[in-house]
Chain A
């Protein structure tokens, strides 16, 4: 096994530890739980709209964003806090490999945990709405958003000891309030980028919600390309931080 695989394996295992995994799965499964409860009193036509509202408003904007933040900011942040980073960096391993392996592990952990949460919502949607195809849009948005938030929060975890707090402020103030209120900021927002991929694949999203996109044209390919580019730039930045910053 190469050094990259070992580092990936370590980071991934640390990020999907039982207690943490259960918490993040429950958080990201909330739309499914609410959908199941609501299905008793809402007719099936309205349930499609509710599914989209929940996956966009609760899954993409809150659950997935928080899960990605916790995984990405603690990928290096937890190593720094626990003083275990020396096991990785006092090694003959190029810094970019460390940055790439840890960032990939953080993305994979987010996709896995938030993916289980999404799968629960999907199963509820199949039972209550009867449309298995509803999964495609949120699945694409999950990958885009996991890549995007990992790109933002992995370097943040190396820079600040309170990266999680800074990240929450970023998600809820910058992206949640300013990103929605000022359409010029929409292209810089990770969740709106993910939503543009979602909107490209989903049918039945209400017009008011589509308004969050501002001038952004829905397109899953463009959104994914943007997220991948951000991810690669983030690996470069993280490499630079690993070379220049004090690591203890």
Chain B
């Protein structure tokens, strides 16, 4: 059986990589690889995704371990960047440049023979042709994101690193960019997209590497991750006019994992929240109880990931 952490035809290989800043461990003993297609690098904020991406493009040196990008070390062989694109997380762009100058500058530094034409094509790809002569400093966050993507695409890279590329984009722009990344993947490019939003990654990535607290939490297809997540007990908060009565009734249900009553509020743990949604109204009706509030308490991605890395 193959190890889900490693891709076939790997273009990016990561071996036992750790990174610490002083006492703080940002990435811990990561081993995985990336190949053609879209791979989602998923994890809550502070999971170490950005540090990991920055190491893969050579901006940071691993404290331990080794990274090979297209067979080369990104720190010592800058020539490898002829085939690599990188969109960083920050909004920062060169505000003195127009969008066309900004993308042309990037294309020229990538060694493209005709950077002006390449820039025009890249701007068209991301839908910024109309504003190509406007200073990027005047752009909205979403437009800056697209200008950054155009700058990273101008030389048609084999490997594309995208750190939260959909930040600040509106739904239409988001759909367009997701479609763009998917098409690049179909053409055999390696696209690595970091995000803390599961459903965004789900829409474009066939494979996911999940990180929590600098460690690899899970790897595999999105379906694998979803399956793992259904195993997690979910906490639901329930408010009713007769909390003791409803709490006692819930406690004896076999589909309930646990019940707590705190300050008149019921906190219930279930494995199947949808089933709770179906059964709870009938239960309350039978008890003559009035439901005032039913809310999930821990549906954040962070809690999901913390569960995934918890020793079992």
| Contact surface of A with B, Cβ cutoff 8 Å | 1, 3, 6-7, 10, 13-14, 17, 82-95, 243-244, 246-248
Contact = CB atoms under 8 A, between A and B. Distances in A.
Contacts of A90: 57-59, 81, 84, 86
A243 B78 CA distance: 10
Contacts of A247: 59-60
B299 to A, nearest CB: 32
A246 B79 CA distance: 18
Contacts of A86: 57, 59, 86, 88
Residue among A85, A90, A92, A95 with the highest chain B CB neighbour number at 10 A: A90
A6 B58 contact: no
B81 A17 contact: no
B31 to A, nearest CB: 21
B78 A83 contact: no
A215 B102 CA distance: 51
B281 interface: no
Contacts of B94: 10, 14, 84, 87
B307 interface: no
B296 interface: no
- 5 shortest interchain CB distances as A-B pairs: A83-B90, A248-B59, A91-B109, A92-B82, A83-B92
Nearest to A1: B108
A84 B92 contact: yes
A247 B81 CA distance: 16
Contacts of A1: 108
8 contacts: A14-B96, A82-B90, A83-B92, A84-B92, A86-B59, A89-B59, A90-B81, A90-B86
A91 B59 contact: no
A7 B106 CA distance: 10
B138 interface: no
Nearest to A91: B109
Nearest to A12: B96
A103 to B, nearest CB: 17
Nearest to A81: B92
A7 B94 CA distance: 12
Contacts of A83: 88, 90, 92
Nearest to A83: B90
Nearest to B106: A87
Interface string B217-237: 000000000000000000000
Given A91-B81, A91-B110, A92-B109, 15 more contacts: A6-B108, A7-B109, A10-B105, A13-B96, A83-B92, A86-B59, A86-B88, A87-B94, A88-B109, A90-B57, A90-B58, A90-B59, A92-B110, A94-B78, A248-B60
Interface of B: 54, 57-61, 75-76, 78-82, 84, 86, 88, 90, 92-94, 96-97, 105-106, 108-111, 151
Contacts of B80: 92
A1 B116 CA distance: 11
Given A92-B78, A92-B80, A248 B109 contact: no
Contacts of A17: 96
A84 B78 CA distance: 17
A86 B90 CA distance: 11
A6 B80 CA distance: 20
Contacts of B81: 90-92
Contacts of A93: 78, 109
A175 B81 CA distance: 42
Contacts of A84: 92-94
Contacts of B96: 10, 13-14, 17
Contacts of A14: 94, 96
Nearest to A2: B108
A30 B59 CA distance: 42
A185 B30 CA distance: 51
Residue among B54, B82, B105, B109 with the highest chain A CB neighbour number at 10 A: B109
B108 to A, nearest CB: 5
Contact of B61 (A10, A87, A95, A246): A246
A17 B137 CA distance: 13
Contacts of B59: 85-86, 89-90, 246-248
Contact of A87 (B76, B84, B151): B151
Nearest to B54: A248
A219 B62 CA distance: 49
Contacts of B106: 87, 91
Contacts of A7: 109
A83 B111 CA distance: 22
A129 B125 CA distance: 63
Contacts of B105: 6, 10, 87
Residue among A13, A91, A94 with the highest chain B CB neighbour number at 10 A: A91
A233 to B, nearest CB: 22
B200 to A, nearest CB: 22
A234 to B, nearest CB: 20
Nearest to B58: A90
B53 to A, nearest CB: 10
